[in-house]
Amino acid sequence: MEHRDTELMLKGYGLTTAELYYRMPDFRNVLNSFIWQEYDLAPDYPKLFNFIEFWQEKIEGPLHSVRFTHRKLIGPGEWRNVVGEFRLH
């Protein structure tokens, strides 16, 4: 995990995973899927919605549906500073 990822999690970001179903440009009856992951802020999900807007403007395959989940990996109550040390032998 990168240093940037840890900083984002401490600021309240969580991992957002989205599965986008879209129609193939040449075969409109065929659905395909695309998985997208990024650290994002709930409940507004600005990065996810920016990506969906980008898809609608720049990608030829029109979106059929989007499913997503969000999970905070570190919460404020889970992070603590340990100042003690135990030595054995």
| Per-residue pLDDT, 23 | 95
Residue 82 lies in a domain: no
Domain presence at residue 29: yes
Does residue 31 form part of some domain? Answer: yes
Indicate whether 89 belongs to any domain: no
User: Looking at the domain assignment, is residue 39 inside a domain?
Assistant: yes
| Total number of domains constituting the chain | 1
Residue 31 to residues 24, 45, 62, 69, 76, Cα–Cα distance (Å)? 6, 25, 10, 21, 40
Q: What is the full per-residue pLDDT of the chain (89 aa) written as tens digits? A: 567 888 888 888 999 999 999 999 999 999 999 999 999 999 999 999 999 999 999 999 999 999 999 998 775 565 666 677 666 66
The span from the first CA to the last CA of the chain, in angstroms, equals 33
Query: pTM, whole model, 2 decimals?
Result: 0.77
In a domain, 62, yes or no: yes
Q: Does 84 fall in a domain?
A: no
Give residue 52's domain range: 3-76
